[in-house]
Amino acid sequence: MSATATELDHIVVAARTLQEGRVWARETLGVEAVGGGKHDGLATHNTLLKLDGKRYLEIIAVDPDAGMPNFPRWFGLDTADIREHIAHGPRVVAWVARCRDAAEDIEQLTQAVDYTANVVRSASRADFRWRFAFTPDGERIAGGTLPHLIQWDCDVHPCDRLPESGVSLTALMLGAPEPAQLSRVLDALRFADALVQVGQSTALNLVAVLQTPSGSVVLD
């Protein structure tokens, strides 16, 4: 098992279009999303918003100018379930944990949830280099309640380049009919972040609570 605990890296909000995501950030959170770029081979693009510490919010959407992806888009963006989920506006769909040994931590994750083996893909943009673990079919893990894993292979992190937004994370709540199962997986990953809370719910559920310049905002 990795000697270093995994940590919350970013929260993923899906939108029908990136412009819709930018408008949503402005109207819902009171701030402008910035930066980001295109994901080669995935046919998606994104924009970002710095939270507190080394955490950020990613707004992602299908890139209509990129053609067909080389493999299923991450976070279930190709599925009818997610398309219905975001039909009336951007929604939180997943979260990503930062790790130091992607191959080892992915093995822990796969064994813990008895899930189809994750695939690690390397990517880069400018001086950012990272490895991202995703499911072969592009589906979220446990309905988005369990994290995808990212390993940054560079000294710089996106938060080092993003402007302060005045938005901070109050809580990321993971709900499940059997929450002990989620806790066991996070324990296997040696996940450490007091803001991530596991609780009981009738269905798999992911909720983020943010403190914004205009007050508290609940995203689900």
Contact 218, 209 (CB under 8 A): yes
CA separation for the pair 89, 17 (Å, rounded): 10
CA separation for the pair 168, 151 (Å, rounded): 23
> pLDDT category, 128, cuts 50, 70, 90?
confident
pLDDT at res. 182: 93
Residue 52 in any domain: the answer is yes
Question: What residue numbers bound the domain in which 44 lies?
Answer: 7-164
Residue 69 in any domain: the answer is yes
pLDDT digits (tens, 9 = 90+) for 8-29: 999 999 999 999 999 999 999 9
Is pLDDT of 71 > 90? no
Is pLDDT of 114 > 60? no
Is pLDDT of 33 > 80? yes
pLDDT at res. 22: 98
pLDDT at res. 105: 67
Give backbone dihedrals phi and psi of 2, rounded to 5 degrees, phi first: -55, 140
**Mean pLDDT, range 52-65, rounded to an integer:** 96
Residue 212 in any domain: the answer is no
Where are the extended beta strands (E) located within 74-155?
A: 91-98, 119-125, 128-134, 148-152
Residue 182 in any domain: the answer is no
pLDDT at res. 2: 41
pTM score, two decimals? 0.92
Where are the extended beta strands (E) located within 15-43?
A: 34-39
> Considering the chain, what percentage of its residues have pLDDT values greater than 70?
90
Token look-up 């009171």 returns 30
> pLDDT category, 116, cuts 50, 70, 90?
low
What is the pLDDT of the chain when averaged over all its residues?
89
Specify the number of domains making up the chain. Answer: 1
Residue 176 in any domain: the answer is no
Is pLDDT of 3 > 50? no
> pLDDT category, 1, cuts 50, 70, 90?
very low
The CATH number of residue 89's host domain is 3.10.180.10
